[in-house]
Amino acid sequence: MKAFVFPGQGAQFVGMGRDLYENSPAAKKLFEKANEIIGFKITDIMFGGTDEELKQTKVTQPAIFLHSVISAIVLGTDFQPNMVAGHSLGEFSALVATKALTFEDGLKLVAQRAFAMQKACEQTPSTMAAIIGLADEKVAEICTETEGIVVPANYNCAGQLVISGEISAVESACTKLKEAGAKRALILPVSGGFHSPCMESARAELETAIRNTKFSEPICPVYQNVDAKPHKNSAEIQDNLVAQLTSPVCWTQSVQNMVADGATHFTELGPGNVLQGLIKKIAPKTIF
Strand 160-166 to 150-157 pairing: antiparallel
- Residue 4 and residue 94 in contact, taking contact as beta carbons nearer than 8 Å: yes
Is 265 assigned a catalytic role? no
Give the separation between CA 74 and CA 76, rounded to whole angstroms: 5
Give the separation between CA 92 and CA 95, rounded to whole angstroms: 5
Is 87 assigned a catalytic role? no
Give the separation between CA 86 and CA 250, rounded to whole angstroms: 11
Selecting among 88, 93, 126, 196, the annotated active-site residue is 88
Q: Which residues face 166 on adjacent strands?
A: 126
Strand segments, DSSP code E, in 238-286 are: 265-268
How is residue 99 annotated by DSSP?
T
In sequence order, what are the residues at sequence separation of 6 or more whose Cβ sits closer than 8 angstroms to the Cβ of residue 25? none
The dihedral region occupied by 270, where left means phi > 0, alpha psi between -120 and 50, and beta the remainder, is left
Largest CA distance in the chain: 55
Selecting among 71, 93, 164, 195, the annotated active-site residue is 195
Q: Which residues face 165 on adjacent strands?
A: 127, 150
Give the separation between CA 106 and CA 284, rounded to whole angstroms: 32
Q: Dihedral (C-alpha) 211, 217, 220, 222: value to the nearest 10 degrees?
A: 20
Q: Which residues face 132 on adjacent strands?
A: 160, 184
Q: How many Cβ atoms sit within 10 Å of the Cβ of residue 216?
A: 13
Catalytic residues: 88, 195
